[in-house]
Amino acid sequence: MDVDALARLRSPAGEAALASAAALVERGSTAADPLAAATALRAAGFAPDLASAALTQVVLRRRAEAKFGVDAHQMFFTRAGLEQATRRVVADRRAARLGAHLAAAGVARVTDLGCGIGADALAFARSGLAVFAVDADPAAAAMAQANGEALGLADRLDVRCADAASVDLSDVDAVFCDPARRDSGRGRRIFDPATYSPPWSFVVGLADSVPTTVLKLAPGIDHSLIPAAAEAEWVSVDGDVVEATVWCGPLATAPRRATVVRGSAVHELTGTGEVTAPVARVRRYLFDPDGAVVRSHLVAEFSTIVDGTLADPRIAYVFADAPARTPFGRCFEVIEELPFPLKQLRSALRTRGIGRLEIRKRGVAVEPDRLRRALRLSGGAEATLVLTRVRERPTALLCRIAGNSAPPPGLRAT
Ligand SMILES: C[S@@+](CC[C@H](N)C(=O)[O-])C[C@H]1O[C@@H](n2cnc3c(N)ncnc32)[C@H](O)[C@@H]1O
């Protein structure tokens, strides 16, 4: 959507088209037949381009609920802008932390370089900061401004269309930058920082100009690229690692942090990211640490919490003698080791009547869905199969979620 299309959507006719499109989507008409929905809007007197823009917007708003809750229905999105936008729970946490730091320093302004549709900029404004935001894409900048107005935050939000490199940083209190990380041509995810926009050299150099800088980076970022004195925080939401946040200069309070958000609860683990957990045998309970713990290299710190050890120095499964409830990982009881070769594994699972199998793996080149098909499971029992390496040896561990009742029929407890 371009700036003109956004302006049309925000006009009285656009608002009416959005309301009619929302009613159609509510009734399920677009999912069943998008063409019929567009025809219905045109029949109601809306111009074809307005009808189509309104329908697209309403569908995006629905999708955006997962990130923004009810606010989504007042906001404007492009498909790419929504995909790249920070979900509200994460943006609000970041804004609160930055806001608290700036308040302690007696200042309250942040400059957002590449604001997209404005999810972070809005969170900063909501936290009380005055936000100056730019985006090189005119439509993104217009949407960020429109979203500020729609959510009643416009008085704290000044959005311009500009290249981040053109912004004068000589008098700013803090900088936030969330570079675009996609190949705009094909929409693929990019993990190579050399292809970031603004470019990586610009992004990583920001803290030289403004020490109080926060960067949002892809969770796959290599630790070697993180500036030495900065704090790197990996954030997961309901099991998915969504980003790495780099807190530069005075904002850094720990070398590495894993933040695990589950529903409304937030749990944090900190450490150096340089400690290796002790290695021992496979023990009765296996913990699969949350992705934020693994990415932040805090598996050793996690092992201490559950009094655990690794079975292989390079594999992030943690073993312990006792189960534990922890937000930082899932706990399984190891029932027995099964043979790894496919035929023997298939036969072992058949014998145990396992028809439903969750497959988890680390350190072995197995494609779980393909393996599940090849296993031709049958039976009424369910279990978890953990495929891993134990001191270089491929190992298959039959497990169940710790705390479950009796093992599936045919399973032998060790
Ligand atoms: C990942 S998005 C930002 C998302 C935003 N933080 C949010 O949560 O909504 C990155 C944005 O940077 C913008 N961008 C890329 N290169 C830029 C540049 N050189 N100057 C300004 N903006 C740029 C893109 O247009 C894109 O909207």
Which residues neighbour 302 within 8 Å (Cβ) at sequence distance 6 or greater? 269, 287, 289, 293, 308, 318, 326, 328, 329
For the chain, 414 residues long, the average pLDDT of each consecutive 10-residue run is 93 95 79 76 91 93 96 96 96 98 96 98 98 97 97 97 97 96 55 85 96 96 94 97 97 98 95 95 97 98 97 96 96 96 96 96 95 95 96 94 54 37
Peptide bond into 198 cis (omega under 30): yes
In terms of Cα–Cα distance, which of 97, 108, 136, 135 is closest to 119? 135
Tell the residue nearest (CA) to atom 14 of ligand 1: 114
CA 48 / ligand 1 centre spacing (Å): 30
| pLDDT for position 406 | 40
CA distances from 255 to 16, 68, 73, 267, 299 (A): 51, 30, 39, 17, 14
- Name the residue with the closest Cα to ligand 1, atom 26: 116
3-state secondary structure the chain: CCHHHHHHHHCHHHHHHHHHHHHHHHCCHHHHCHHHHHHHHHHCCCCHHHHHHHHHHHHHHHHHHHHHHHHHHHCCCCHHHHHHCCCHHHHHHHHHHHHHHHHHCCCCEEEEECCCCCHHHHHHHHCCCEEEEEECCHHHHHHHHHHHHHCCCHHHEEEEECCHHHCCCCCCCCEEECCECECCCCCCECCCHHHCECCHHHHHHHHHHCCCEEEEECCCCCHHHCCCCCEEEEEEECCEEEEEEEECHHHCCCCEEEEEEECCEEEEEEECCCCCCCECCCCCEEEEECHHHHHCCCHHHHHHHCCCEECCCCCCCEEECCCCCCCCEEEEEEEEEECCCHHHHHHHHHHCCEEEEEEEECCCCCCHHHHHHHHCCCCCEEEEEEEEEECCEEEEEEEEECCCCCCCCCCCCC
The pick from 83, 178, 202 for probing ligand 1's pocket by mutation, whose C-beta has the most ligand atoms within 8 angstroms, reads 178
* Interval between CA 242 and ligand 1 midpoint (Å): 17
Check: CATH 3.40.50.12280 for 84-253?
no
Residue with the smallest CA separation from ligand 1 atom 27 is 116
pLDDT for the residue 17: 94
Choose the residue to mutate in 122, 182, 197, 203 for probing ligand 1, maximizing ligand atoms within 8 Å of C-beta.
Answer: 197
Q: Give the pLDDT score at 182.
A: 60
User: What is the edge-to-edge ordering of all strands in the sheet holding 213-217?
Assistant: 157-161, 130-135, 109-113, 175-177, 213-217, 240-247, 231-237, 256-262, 265-271
What pLDDT score does 154 carry?
Answer: 96
Q: How far is the CA of 118 from the centre of ligand 1 (A)?
A: 9
For ligand 1, the distance from its centroid to the CA atom of residue 163, given in whole angstroms, is: 10
pLDDT score at 189: 53
What's the gap in Å between 141 CA and the centre of ligand 1? 9
Q: Which residues contact 389 (CB under 8 A, 6 or more apart)?
A: 312, 314, 315, 362, 363, 364, 395
Distance CA 400, CA 166 (A): 56
The domain locations on the chain are 3-74, 84-253, 285-401
Alpha-carbon distance of 24 to 36, in angstroms, equals 10
Distance 398 CA to ligand 1 centre (A): 45
Ligand 1 centroid from CA 198, angstroms: 8
Which residue is closest in CA terms to ligand 1's atom 15? 197
In whole angstroms, give the CA distance from residue 283 to residue 323: 11
Record the pTM.
0.92
Q: What is the pLDDT of residue 355?
A: 96
Residue 159 Cα to ligand 1 middle (Å): 12
| pLDDT given at position 408 | 39
| Atom of ligand 1 lying closest to residue 116 CA | 27
CA of 136 to the centre of ligand 1 (A): 7
**Nearest residue (CA) to ligand 1, atom 13:** 114
Q: Give the number of the atom of ligand 1 that is nearest the alpha carbon of residue 163.
A: 20
Residues with CB under 6 A from ligand 1: 84-86, 114-120, 134-137, 140, 163-164, 178-180, 197-198
